[in-house]
Amino acid sequence: MNTTIRKIGNSEGVILPKEILDHLNLKAGDQLEIVETSKGIALQPVDDSFERQMEAARQVMDKYKVALQKLAE
């Protein structure tokens, strides 16, 4: 499949065909990581599971701040 680099505001971008988005279960707002390879670039979905886990840990630490401080003594 071919696509063209297009002017988008002050930037330039590539529009991904709907078939590719559907096949990869991607939608507007999803983040992609750009990886430079020896043959060019590759796009892959960002794995945000670590960030979600860290956010959950922060919430627990905020909720039990006093208890965790006591345990640390």
- Exposed, middle or buried: residue 47 (CB in 10 Å: 0-12, 13-18, 19+)? exposed
Residue 45's closest CA among 65, 69, 58, 27? 27
pTM over 0.75: no
User: What is the reported pLDDT for 49?
Assistant: 74
Would you tell me the crossing angle of helices 49-63 and 65-72 to the nearest 10 degrees?
80
| Intra-chain end-to-end CA distance of the chain, in Å | 61
Taking only the tens place, the pLDDT of each residue in 19-71 is 999 998 899 988 999 999 999 999 988 877 777 888 899 999 999 999 999 99
User: What is the reported pLDDT for 45?
Assistant: 85
User: What is the reported pLDDT for 23?
Assistant: 92
Residue 5 confidence (pLDDT) above 80: yes
